[in-house]
Amino acid sequence: MMFSKFFLIAMICILPQTWDLGQTQNIAQNAPIRSPVKPPGCESVGFSAKRAAGADAQYHINAVTRISFQDTLSDFGSDAKWDKTKFCSSCPGFYFFSFHALSSEHGDFTLSLQLNEQSQVTAFGSKNGNQWAGNSAILSLGNDDCVRLELEQGTIYEHPAPVTRNGKQELYTTTFSGFLTTSA
């Protein structure tokens, strides 16, 4: 017990005096720790989209379908390509992706986040009324790797609310977003 108290006091009193708070150092190697340098144009990369396109008269989208979006909320950074169906990376690194959808009232669905046509994570919405489902993942993308959503089975529902910004009801049940967390 005496050793642990002494060690704690030493950590509090001695070490802060040896640290240069302006530049963090690896004390064991006495070398600066540097953040990874992002390639030019890769400081901030991402997109966000809402409102799945292609619904039928009952506002349903049926499987098997690549999900396309009517509205892009944001699309920023570098030469990354967002074409309302897929996002293709021009900055290698780790990206965070999130997606959500709503099942039809009497049907279920399985929605998949795909990287280069391969399923990475899925979300399942049940058929007991309209049920939300979503998922997220951090994926490593290289140059020209593409991610997209695919409705693998079942039916999703997209609300028929008009697309206006002047006081009318706006409801969007399908969303897809992604952004670069760390460049390679």
What would the pLDDT profile of 160-176 be if each residue is shown by its tens digit?
Answer: 765 566 665 567 789 99
Pairing of strands 132-141, 93-102: antiparallel
Instruction: Pick 46-183's CATH classification: 2.30.31.10, 3.60.10.10, 1.10.260.40, 2.60.120.40.
Output: 2.60.120.40
Q: Calculate mean pLDDT across residues 137-144.
A: 95
Please write the tens of the pLDDT for every residue from 65-86: 889 888 888 888 866 688 889 9
Average pLDDT along the chain:
77
Specify the higher pLDDT residue, 135 or 37: 135
CA distance 130 to 109: 11
Nearest C-alpha neighbor of 172 from the set 76, 70, 79, 97: 70
Give pLDDT, residue 151.
Answer: 92
* Distance in angstroms between the alpha carbons of the first and the last residue of the chain: 45
pLDDT-based confidence at residue 1 (cuts at 50, 70, 90): very low
| pLDDT exceeds 50 at position 3 | no
Residue 50 C-alpha from the chain's centroid: 13
Cβ–Cβ under 8 Å, residues 113 and 122: yes
Give pLDDT, residue 157.
Answer: 84
pTM of the complete model: 0.73
| pLDDT exceeds 60 at position 5 | no
Sequence spans of domains, the chain? 2-32, 46-183
